[in-house]
Every structure is written in structure tokens, then in C-alpha cells.
Structure 1
């Protein structure tokens, strides 16, 4: 599997180089070199598609394979629990991690058995859920790669027309050539540090493992949710978020629209901005701060009736739908987004809500996720430390795959 993924990276890198060569030949007016480079690109496309199809099928089989259950699951938990109790690290493969980050309900409720016994049932806080955006993006195993390149189309070939009698015997006007972008996904270190009361060690090894596993995975998912929308915060990011997604040429991948306030036109503005000139974007949902969801719910018409109806999803209050007349817009709450309703225009535009298909964002897992327990860091406080380490990456992989609601700067 890793060899296939490395081959895929090599081929995409070569394809990118040939696309650049084609562009250079076109700019120089060298038709022969252009045709040769584009022939190579088409050949690479076929080879890349074959490998992608094979990886997709292998991934499907891995994700469809039943996870350990019953006695097998309990024995595995006992073994891993003993390892954690004795200070050893437990490693989860990228595919195990992928199952976990894409299964919020399992992680929120416990995977094997619920802890019982006096003084050892450590209660989770109210609403201890993580943004479901982690479940909704495209997750890929990129183990063994230094980075991954995802080419995407920015514009397609256009056709020309003309009168038959006018064009007869004349060279036709050259169509504009397609343009491509390349989104780079690079590894970024993600670490987890959590402190819990040492009384957790009173649990059985299986319960101990389950509780620590759930807490470590929730912490990882929580940080991933922030990275997916905001990126890693560096001036030159390793991991791009939806809001700052750029291709290798430095061009923004997401689209933007100015929205100054939450009003009755909000959803229409985002809904019709997303997609092409000929079609409404498919599978889109609104990503927003809970404060903005509340502000949307407070809107009333002249008869004091609700403008929008909010319907949280049963069993997962982090998601739901907003009814806007005949249009129903799915939403996901992401606390790491800036609330438009709580923002004031300043000297620069402020990025707030996001609207688009989460599958347009690719989250890459670069290898295993390791969890261990240390009881020396906060020994005086009688606490143990849960330490987790992983390598992740991400970027938008579809041109204008999201629309960013920007609060314009004041006076601009």
C-alpha cells in the first residue's frame, strides 16, 4: 500500500512538471513541445487514475472490514491497557486512526465497555462532543510520504463559433487552454497532552485503555477541527485550513463573498455564490460558530415569526439543518470559527462562516498515532499525563470548493 502511495506522489509530481512545461511551450508559441507535454500529461492521468482506483478499493476494504468485537476486542483492550499502565506506548495505525477520527459517536460514548466502580467512573462534561467537520472531510492515509500533490482544474477549454461563410478557408481562433492548480498536502505535527486524576488507574486494564483512548482521540479530533478551518497559523503554513488554502503557486483556492451582517439574505447569498455559473454547488453545508447559529435563529419578520427554522440532528446536536423557505441548508457547528455576529469591522476583512462541500477538503494522515501515559509530570497533583503524537496535513483540493463569508473592513 505504501509503495502504491509513493508511486502516486511520484506520478503527480511528474505530471505537474509536464503541465508546467506545456504552459511554457504554449507561452513561447512552440506547438510541437506543447502537444508532446500534453500527451505526457494524458498518459500520466491514466496511470494516476489506475493507482487511485486501486488505492480507493483497498481503502474501501479496510474501512469495511469489521473492527474487533466481543472477546477479541476485550483481549486487545486488556493488552493495550496493560501497556499503558506500565508506561509503554500504544500505536494505532493510520487506518485505525482514520476509523476513529471518522466516528464521533463511538468516541463520544465509549468503544468497548463503560467504566464502573466506586471512585473510578470519571464523568465527561456536558455535551462532550467534537465538531463533526472531522467526520465530513475527505480523509486519506498518506503513510510513508513526505508530501502529497493534488492537481485540480481551475478553468476548462472554451469553444469558439462563427459563420460558416466567414470561417471558410481561414485558420480558426485558438481556444483558451485549460488551467490547472496543484494543492500540496504536507505533514504537520499534531500532539495531545491531557491530565487526568490518577484514580483512573483503578479501572480494569480494558476500561483504562478505553477511557484513555477516547480522551486522546477526542483531543486529536478537537485539534483537527480547528486545523481544518483555520490551518496551522504559521505565516507559511505546512497545514492549510479552508480559510487560508493555497495552491503551490500561492493562489487562494477558496472563494469569498462580503457579508456585513446576519440577516434574511444571508443563506441566499452563500447558497448562490457557491457552485458554477451553470449550477448550484452540491452537498454543501454551512460551517459556523454557535453564536452565529443563535443569531440566525433570532431573526424575526414583521409579524414576529421566525425567518429561519433550526432543526438540530437527533443524536448529534453538533449538526442539523436550517430551513429557509423551500431551501434546506445543512450546518455543522465549529467553535474555532470567528462569529460574524460578535465581530466589528476593522482595518482588515474578517473571515467568519464557511459554505461548501466538506469533501472538497483533504485531511491526510502521515503515519501512525502513538499514545502513552506518564505519571511523573504531575506526580504531586496525583495526576497522570496522556501524551499523543501524530503527523497530519490538509488542504482544499477543489477550486472554489468553499465560499468564505468575509466581514468587510470598515470604510472599504
Structure 2
């Protein structure tokens, strides 16, 4: 949740952030009112509690009828104190709920507006001109069949729509991508992690996903557990309720996990292929650092994502995502979108978000600094989401006969330079 000091000292800044996201300013007013009510109940409780303590001392010194009278007053006062304490607890809960209802305050640089109001920051490589090469590109579904790499029919038979099998070179390609991503992460100082895909509600709520995408989250019936849509969730909760030494920051992790999403609200979108699926594997970068350093770290995460896409020899662009398309935890987000030839457009492959201290406040993650303890900042960045990356590789590097050239960086993991169609 946001820093209460920002709300109290500069509420107009919070209202402006709400407006950039396309949200009402009412939650800001509600939180301010809840804060004032909370303060009033605290003052009333503490005043009566102090009176109760003072009267206790008087009772100890009194005798006879005076003591009996004071005891009667004490009993009535104790009941009032109990009532005021309950009111204080209720006001505290109302204040916390109101504060949690406000998303993070967006960065000044974040564009205002919704999904279509992003700003293109950079375009890397021109999309391949298949017409100049004299053939019509095949989509990843046809290429997947020809290569024996993707089995959608049996995925649907076994698990339902938006499921798939990666087979043969498809499975090899995913493992090659995992190895390349983890190798790059290790080389720049990330600790490799295999993260759980099931988490408790505190982890999901603490990262903002029950606010942002509750309808898109799988919950296990009969269990107090959720399936994660990204390993950002377990990695954010990894250091929950801990105080980290300042000299151990930044802490950088590269986590592999399966990811699960209902894809609620995507009816009719990307119903074919493996662009939008209910399950996929991903390598996610996650960082704990100071709020002051988080802005530079955000740029580093973006550069590492770009480096990975460069190794895959893909055409892509970098966009500054508009405020209305941010999750509640993020103040700013960059997406890298790869060109998908048969769709004739760019599609998101990676994203990186700076969440400053928003998640750390919810999860109680602090740092121990020379001037005391305070919340740290958290950042996340996708290094490789497997299915969409496989789509981009197959369609971008295909050849006229249905074979696919393997990017040089992946050749040593796959042991070949070309993926050849299999005999039918």
C-alpha cells in the first residue's frame, strides 16, 4: 500500500495519480476521512485510558465510602474504555482497508490513459520482409505441427481449451530458453530460484493480485492456496516479515515456475495457438533494493530484458505503459513487444515494473539502515515467458520449406542450427 505520509501531506498528488489511471478520486477522500476518524478514536481511547489509570491510583489510596464510589466509577469507566478500544480497532481496520484501496502513486513520467495510450520508447530491428523473400509466412500453429513441436489437439483433449503439449523440438526449445535465461541471469549476479506455484492468500494479497486480477486467479477448492500467475508472487513474499541488512541490497533473484491464469475477460481473443494460454512456464527477475535506487534498477531490468531478446534476434519495440494499464502495485512499467509476422503487430513478450515500497508495506519487508529501519522497494521483470517467446522465434526465423533457423545463442543448447520438419 502507499506511504500514508504521501496521502496526508500531498493528497492532490494521489488524486492526480488516480486521474492518470482513469480512476475516481473518491478513495482518496475516503481514506483521509478514515484517517481523521482513526485519530479521533485514538485520542478518545487514550484520554479515557489515562483517566482509568489515574483513578486506579486513587482507588488504591481511598477508604470506606469514597473507595466504594470510586470503584463504581472505575467499573463504568472500564466499560467505556472497552467500548472505545473496540471503536479504535474498527477505525484502524477501516483506515487500513481504505489505504489498501488506493493503488501506488504513478511516476511522473508514466503516460496518462488506458491500454492504447502507451508511448513507444524504442524500436529495435525492422520486421522481416517475407514478401521480398518470396514466400508467405506460416503461423506458429502450422509450424508447430510441421516440426512436431506443438500438439494443440491433444492438449485440448487432455486438459481443455488453451492447453497444449510441447513435444520434440518444442520441448527442447523451451529447455534451451530456460537455460539461456538462467545463464544470463547468473552472469549478471542473480541468484537462481525454483519457486513454488502455490501460495497462501497473504502472498497473493500482499502483491496486489487479489486487487488487480482476482477473476484471473485460480484458487484451490478446499485449500487456503492459490495458483500463481507469475513467480513475482512467491518471490515478493520470500522475505515477508523480515528485516534485511542494508549491505545485502540489492538482492536479485531469477525464479523459474509454472504460471496459471484463467484468462478471464479474454473470450474470443487469441483462441488459437499458444499466445494466450492457461498455463505456461516463465523465468522472472525479482529485486529487493532501496526506494532511491529502484529507479535506476528498473532501467537495468529493462536492459537485461532487451539483451535477452537481442540474443534471440527478434524485432521488438519498448513501450512505456500508460497508467490505466498498470497493476495497482506499479508506479511505472516497460513492456518489450516482439513482432509476430502472421499477426502483423507487436505482442508483449516481457515487462518490468517498479513497485517501490508498495508491496513491501503490505508484506512487511524492511531494511536496516544507519538511520533506522524502513520499507525496501521491490521490482519485477520477465526474462522469458516461454510460450510467447517460442511463437516469436518460430514465426520470425522460419524458412520457406517450414524449417526454422535457430538463433545462434540457442544453438549450443539445441545442438543444431536448424529445426527441420518431421516426416508425417
Normalising by structure 2, report the TM-score. 0.22
- Which structure dedicates a bigger proportion of its chain to helix? 2
Normalising by structure 1, report the TM-score. 0.22
- Asked which structure has the greater CA Rg, the reply is 2
